[in-house]
């Protein structure tokens, strides 16, 4: 018997309502928004995920923030439900996309929350529009002062990791490495992650980012 997925179940109810953002270059970015309480005066909180992570990596955090503020998660180009950026993934373009996300949701104020490489993107974006940023929350951020990141050994490990993850993704096995995380998140988030977060396209996007990310960070 062929199993079918119910179409009546709300999509991503844990992470709010879907919203499409159009960048200044005309590319769509997929976002999920929890509107927060109607009388809230808190800044809008925008989450920036790590290097190869989709919006769903915030599945346990965003609902808590959404109880007192508008909370926005989104997929960077080439991740989750956002199509790839044909022009590449330099830090300038990554920050430009986040700035387009902010523009979509108004003039602010915003709190930017960035994890790992997302911390770098959040910091760069904040430096471009400091008057619109009420705060930064950096979760285990990538640090340009960490010399280990720029040595040949780390570069080799990065290339080997990308190759291994690409092979596992093509075999449909990459999600097994993250089973404890999948078991910890709400059911709707887990379904989205299983469909989207471990596909070969995700690893390809990570590889495109990796081509320039550390070199730019070093400068």
Q: What is the pLDDT of residues 73-114, one digit of tens each?
A: 999 999 999 999 999 899 999 999 999 999 999 999 999 999
Asked if pLDDT for residue 30 goes beyond 90, the answer is: yes
Residue ranges with strand state E in the chain: 17-22, 28-34, 44-48, 71-74, 110-115, 133-139
Sign of CA dihedral 111, 80, 7, 101: positive
CA angle 181, 74, 100 (to 5 degrees): 155
Locate the DSSP E strands across 43-132: 44-48, 71-74, 110-115
What is the C-alpha separation between 147 and 53, in angstroms, rounded?
24
Query: What digits encode the pLDDT tens for the residues 127-140?
Result: 999 999 999 999 99
- pLDDT value at position 14? 85
Helix axes 117-128, 91-104, angle to 10 degrees: 60
What are the residues facing 130 on neighbouring strands?
none
Q: 171: burial class by Cβ within 10 Å (0-12, 13-18, 19+)?
A: exposed
**How high is the pLDDT of residue 106?**
94
pLDDT for the residue 219? 84
The pTM of this model reads: 0.90
* CA–CA separation, 15 and 192 (whole Å): 11
Check: CB of residue 162 under 8 Å from CB of residue 203: yes
């Amino acid at each position: 018997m062929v199993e079918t997925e119910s179409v009546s179940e709300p999509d991503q109810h844990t992470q709010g309502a879907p919203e499409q953002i159009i960048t200044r270059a005309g590319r769509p970015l997929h976002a999920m928004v929890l509107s927060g309480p109607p009388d809230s005066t808190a800044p809008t909180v925008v989450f920036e995920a790590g290097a190869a992570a989709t919006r769903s990596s915030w599945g346990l955090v965003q609902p808590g923030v959404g109880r007192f503020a508008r909370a926005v998660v989104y997929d960077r180009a080439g991740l989750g439900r956002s199509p790839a950026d044909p022009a590449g993934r330099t830090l300038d373009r990554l920050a430009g996309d986040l700035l387009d996300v902010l523009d979509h949701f108004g003039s602010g104020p915003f709190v930017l929350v960035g994890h790992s490489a997302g911390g770098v993107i959040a910091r760069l974006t904040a430096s471009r529009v400091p008057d619109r940023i009420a705060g930064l929350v950096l979760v285990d951020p990538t640090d340009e002062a960490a010399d280990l990141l720029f040595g040949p050994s780390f570069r080799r490990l990065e290339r080997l990791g990308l190759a291994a993850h690409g092979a596992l993704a093509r075999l449909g096995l990459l999600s097994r490495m993250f089973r404890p995380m999948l078991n910890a998140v709400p059911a709707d988030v887990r379904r989205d992650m299983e469909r989207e977060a471990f596909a070969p396209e995700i690893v390809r996007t990570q590889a495109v980012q990796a081509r320039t990310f550390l070199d730019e960070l070093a400068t």
